[in-house]
């Protein structure tokens, strides 16, 4: 077999490369900014090149400085708590970077070199080596954005999958522009030469078409602004000719943004895009309690719900709570009271949304997130009367309907049995509260005693006890050995439903018998 010389040498080179011991180097790292779980944050991994072991203190302070300058700019400043930053400590054998233009070469971890592809300020690094360190040191969720700081004071840097910057701090501007491409998916807004243009660019900040209705960022353009736009005033959204290295044919959204010139803000359209991209990585809902899914409650119970959300610097995300689709509250916590809910299945839903006015168009609803719970409400258990129809000894016996555990109870005005409303139109008393007659055996008053010798109480399904005022006690007319008691229903029983009533005479309690209170309005009719 005969190999053409060129391909043969390429093969030898490849074999040599494969034979090299693969440096599976997990380098130490420190999370210098921790704003939450990497799965729901934008994580920036920063590595250094050309820092010797003796220069690691300088490395750490260089990184701090770079991060500070980066996050002084919008929208990173407002959304700084959406980012985590991990600093990986990579030691190089020698300091600095390669400068082929003056034949200076140094041995560094990522082999940074100026003059990449013929441009002096462009710095190249070995992306294989960078990814080798990243893969071995961090989890994939910890390097959404990758940055290498090169320990060389000459201005320079580059973009792409890995952002590279020198320690000339003007390089922060270069990095923000480059990350605008790699993270923001934005196109270049500068011209350069006359062009024959083809196709519509995908970038959200570039347009070939000039039809006003079709402009991707039309929602930012004031109706009074003409398109194409020719003003040279900054910050006026419109349609400006000149972008994507062409002086003609492609258009940009503002006169001059950071995607056109360094030291400029991103301006409205690119800021909006950055925020949408942040929300591609970060859900506006961090966590909830209960976590989600199904919740089972008994009627009358309450259930606390809560959410945590990421927090922009100067505004808060809005959380709205819905019960069965109806808005019922706002804020990060919500209490569901099942007293007013029917038995059966219901839903509780929360909507967390960033209502920032810096995003006007969010077709994918990236800035909103909902969480839903299926709530099953079971009817309150019907109280089970204590089966003591005839209490031992001389205890009073509350009369029950034959063959049931229901108290013989009559409305004192209408003489109808339950369910009893809390209030009655027919009542003679000023308070309109319903009075009920109960009938008791073995409860005869001694001479000189009054109704004050009796107490009465009701107990609801939650074992809450409500005293019932005893207003009258006397021998029931025509019923030998039966005492008639008149008790008043208190406000607290308004929604009690099924209750157990019992009476006691001189401290000795009767059996408990059931009674039904009708759900009624909250005040006298
Ligand atoms: Zn660019």
Whole-angstrom CA distances from 322 to 211, 328, 339, 370, 375 are 42, 5, 16, 10, 12
State in Å: Cα 244 to ligand 1 middle: 9
How do residues 42-70 score in pLDDT, each as one tens digit?
Answer: 999 999 999 999 999 999 999 999 999 99
- Among 375, 378, 373, 374, which residue's Cα sits nearest to residue 299? 378
- In angstroms, the first-to-last Cα distance of the chain is 107
pLDDT over 90 percentage in the chain: 66
SS3 state of residue 297? strand
The band of 293, judged by pLDDT with boundaries at 50, 70 and 90, is confident
Whether 21-182 shares its CATH topology with 397-516 is answered no
Whether the pLDDT of residue 475 is over 90: the answer is no
- Among 372, 277, 362, 289, which residue's Cα sits nearest to residue 79? 277
Can you give the pLDDT at residue 525?
44
State in Å: Cα 10 to ligand 1 middle: 33
Least confident span in 117-126, 139-148, 487-496: 487-496
The encoded tokens of residue 297 equal 């409650």
Beta partners for residue 309, in sequence order: none
How do residues 219-267 score in pLDDT, each as one tens digit?
Answer: 999 999 999 999 999 999 999 999 999 999 999 999 999 999 999 999 9
Mean pLDDT of 305-331: 96
Whether the pLDDT of residue 389 is over 70: the answer is no
Q: 329 with 304: CB under 8 angstroms?
A: no
State in Å: Cα 185 to ligand 1 middle: 11
State in Å: Cα 177 to ligand 1 middle: 6
The band of 2, judged by pLDDT with boundaries at 50, 70 and 90, is very low
State in Å: Cα 121 to ligand 1 middle: 14
Rounded (10°) angle between helices 56-70 and 171-182: 70
CATH code for the domain defined by 21-182: 3.40.390.10
Q: 493 with 499: CB under 8 angstroms?
A: yes
Whether the pLDDT of residue 20 is over 70: the answer is no
State in Å: Cα 341 to ligand 1 middle: 58
Neighbours of 507 (CB within 10 A): 7
Mean pLDDT of 501-517: 88
Q: 265 with 74: CB under 8 angstroms?
A: yes
Whether the pLDDT of residue 394 is over 80: the answer is no
Whether the pLDDT of residue 104 is over 80: the answer is yes
Whether the pLDDT of residue 489 is over 80: the answer is yes
State in Å: Cα 219 to ligand 1 middle: 25
The band of 1, judged by pLDDT with boundaries at 50, 70 and 90, is very low
Whether the pLDDT of residue 450 is over 90: the answer is no
State in Å: Cα 174 to ligand 1 middle: 9
- For residue 41, the 8-state DSSP code is S
Whether the pLDDT of residue 124 is over 90: the answer is yes
Whether the pLDDT of residue 381 is over 90: the answer is no
Nearest-angstrom CA–CA distance, 401 and 5: 110
Can you give the pLDDT at residue 53?
96
Nearest-angstrom CA–CA distance, 254 and 239: 7
Mean pLDDT of 177-205: 93
Q: 422 with 497: CB under 8 angstroms?
A: no
State in Å: Cα 6 to ligand 1 middle: 35
Fold of 397-516: Immunoglobulin-like (2.60.40)
State in Å: Cα 186 to ligand 1 middle: 9
The band of 21, judged by pLDDT with boundaries at 50, 70 and 90, is very low
**Torsion angle defined by CA atoms of residues 349, 355, 360 and 361, in that order, rounded to the nearest 10 degrees:** -20
Q: 44 with 147: CB under 8 angstroms?
A: yes
Please provide residue 130's backbone torsions phi and psi, each rounded to the nearest 5 degrees. -60, -50
Whether the pLDDT of residue 10 is over 90: the answer is no
Which residues does 410 contact at the CB level (< 8 Å), separation at least 6? 416, 417, 436, 437
Mean pLDDT of 276-289: 96
Mean confidence (pLDDT) of the chain: 89
State in Å: Cα 187 to ligand 1 middle: 7
Hey, where are the domains in the chain? 21-182, 212-260, 287-378, 397-516
State in Å: Cα 259 to ligand 1 middle: 6
Q: Is 166 exposed, middle or buried (0-12, 13-18, 19+ CB in 10 A)?
A: buried
Helix (H) or strand (E) holding 6: helix 5-19
CA 109 to the chain's CA centroid: 40
The band of 382, judged by pLDDT with boundaries at 50, 70 and 90, is low
- Among 438, 435, 440, 451, which residue's Cα sits nearest to residue 488? 435
State in Å: Cα 158 to ligand 1 middle: 9
Can you give the pLDDT at residue 519?
67
Q: Highest mean pLDDT: which of 306-320, 404-418, 428-442, 452-466?
A: 306-320
Whether the pLDDT of residue 72 is over 70: the answer is yes
State in Å: Cα 326 to ligand 1 middle: 48
The encoded tokens of residue 272 equal 């909006």
State in Å: Cα 412 to ligand 1 middle: 88
Helix (H) or strand (E) holding 83: strand 83-88
pLDDT over 70 percentage in the chain: 91
Whether the pLDDT of residue 91 is over 80: the answer is yes
Q: 208 with 195: CB under 8 angstroms?
A: no
State in Å: Cα 192 to ligand 1 middle: 12
287-378: CATH class: mainly beta
Diameter over CA atoms, the chain: 130
- Among 209, 200, 202, which residue's Cα sits nearest to residue 239? 209
State in Å: Cα 181 to ligand 1 middle: 7
Whole-angstrom CA distances from 396 to 401, 408, 440, 443 are 16, 14, 6, 5
Task: Report which of residues 205 and 406 the model is more confident about.
Answer: 205
State in Å: Cα 476 to ligand 1 middle: 98
Whether the pLDDT of residue 390 is over 70: the answer is no
Which residues does 298 contact at the CB level (< 8 Å), separation at least 6? 338, 377, 378, 379, 380, 381
Neighbours of 402 (CB within 10 A): 7
State in Å: Cα 122 to ligand 1 middle: 12
State in Å: Cα 231 to ligand 1 middle: 23
- For residue 400, the 8-state DSSP code is B
Please count the residues of the chain. 525
Whether the pLDDT of residue 499 is over 60: the answer is yes
């Amino acid at each position: 077999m005969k190999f053409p010389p060129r391909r043969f040498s390429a093969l030898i080179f490849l074999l040599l490369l494969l034979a090299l011991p693969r440096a599976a180097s997990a380098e130490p790292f420190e999370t210098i900014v921790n704003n939450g779980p990497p799965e729901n944050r934008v994580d920036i991994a920063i590595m250094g090149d050309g820092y010797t072991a003796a220069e690691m203190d300088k490395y750490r302070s260089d990184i701090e400085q770079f991060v500070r300058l980066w996050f002084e700019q919008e929208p990173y400043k407002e959304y700084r708590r959406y980012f985590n930053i991990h600093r990986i400590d990579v030691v190089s054998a020698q300091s600095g970077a390669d400068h082929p233009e003056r034949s200076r070469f140094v041995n560094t971890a990522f082999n940074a070199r100026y003059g990449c592809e013929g441009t002096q300020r462009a710095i190249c690094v070995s992306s294989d080596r960078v990814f080798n360190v990243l893969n071995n040191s961090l989890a994939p969720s910890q390097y959404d954005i990758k940055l290498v700081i090169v320990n060389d004071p000459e201005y320079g840097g580059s973009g792409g999958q890995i952002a590279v910057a020198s320690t000339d701090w003007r390089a922060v501007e270069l990095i923000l522009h480059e990350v605008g491409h790699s993270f923001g998916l934005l196109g270049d807004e500068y011209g350069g030469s006359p062009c024959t243009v083809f196709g519509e660019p995908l970038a959200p900040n570039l347009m070939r078409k000039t039809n006003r209705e079709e402009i991707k960022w039309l929602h930012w353009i004031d109706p009074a602004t003409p398109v194409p736009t020719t003003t040279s005033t900054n910050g006026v959204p419109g349609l400006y000719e000149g972008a994507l290295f062409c002086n003609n044919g492609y258009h940009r959204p503002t006169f001059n943004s950071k995607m056109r010139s360094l030291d400029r803000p991103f301006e409205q359209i690119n800021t909006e895009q950055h925020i949408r991209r942040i929300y591609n990585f970060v859900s506006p809902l961090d966590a909830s309690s209960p976590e989600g899914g199904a919740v089972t409650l008994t009627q009358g119970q309450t259930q606390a719900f809560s959410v945590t959300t990421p927090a922009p610097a100067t505004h808060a995300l809005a959380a709205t709570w819905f019960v069965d689709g109806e808005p019922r509250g706002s804020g990060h916590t919500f209490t569901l009271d099942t007293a007013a809910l029917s038995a059966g299945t219901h839903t509780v839903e929360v909507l967390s949304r960033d209502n920032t006015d810096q995003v006007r168009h969010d077709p994918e609803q990236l800035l909103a997130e909902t969480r839903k719970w299926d709530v099953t409400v079971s009817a309150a258990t019907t109280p089970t009367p204590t089966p003591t129809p005839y209490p031992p000894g001389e205890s009073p016996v509350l009369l029950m309907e034959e063959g049931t555990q229901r108290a013989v109870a009559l409305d004192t005005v209408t003489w109808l049995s339950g369910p009893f409303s809390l209030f009655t139109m027919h009542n003679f008393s000023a308070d309109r509260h319903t009075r009920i007659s109960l009938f008791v055996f073995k409860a005869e008053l001694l001479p000189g005693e009054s109704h004050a010798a009796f107490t009465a109480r009701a107990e609801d399904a939650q074992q809450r006890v409500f005293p019932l005022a005893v207003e009258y006690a006397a021998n029931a007319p025509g019923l030998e050995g039966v005492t008639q008691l008149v008790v008043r229903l208190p406000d607290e029983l308004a929604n009690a439903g099924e209750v157990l009533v019992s009476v006691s005479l001189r401290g000795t309690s009767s059996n408990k018998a059931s009674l039904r209170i009708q759900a009624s309005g909250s005040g006298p009719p």
